Amino acid sequence: MSRHIFEQLDTADQALRENLHRNDLDPTARQHMERALSHVREAYVATNEIGKARSVSQLVADLEKVNHIVAKVRRREQFAPSTTKPIRV
């Protein structure tokens, strides 16, 4: 039974990753697919390692924390002066 589940999870993972490489993807659709990919991967953990997966609410909270940190870093980078020096050949 679990082999069949893993195959389906792999298929879902591959399809989502393939779609995320598209350049014409609507930003909202991209966000949903990114979130879905996280859930598929956590479902793999839940199936493979009983009791080691996060709950759905914990996964969502962790994803929100990561998104908050990434947004914060991007804001800082936006206002930070460029410190890169040109490469001389």
Q: Which pLDDT tens digit goes with each residue over 49-74? A: 989 999 999 999 999 999 999 999 98
Give the rounded percent of residues in the chain with a pLDDT score beyond 90. 78
Flag whether 88 is in a domain.
no
- What is the pTM (predicted TM-score) of this model? 0.75
SS3 88: coil
| Residue 29 pLDDT grade (very low, low, confident, very high; cuts 50, 70, 90) | very high
Residue 39 has pLDDT above 70, yes or no: yes
| pLDDT score for 31 | 94
Residue 43 has pLDDT above 90, yes or no: yes
Residue 72 and residue 89: Cα distance in Å, rounded? 35
| pLDDT score for 35 | 95
Flag whether 89 is in a domain.
no
Q: Determine if residue 51 is left, alpha or beta; phi over 0 gives left, psi from -120 to 50 gives alpha, anything else beta.
A: left
Flag whether 65 is in a domain.
yes
Flag whether 47 is in a domain.
yes
Flag whether 86 is in a domain.
no
Flag whether 84 is in a domain.
no
Domain with 42, as residue range(s), is 2-79
Flag whether 49 is in a domain.
yes
The number of distinct structural domains making up the chain is: 1
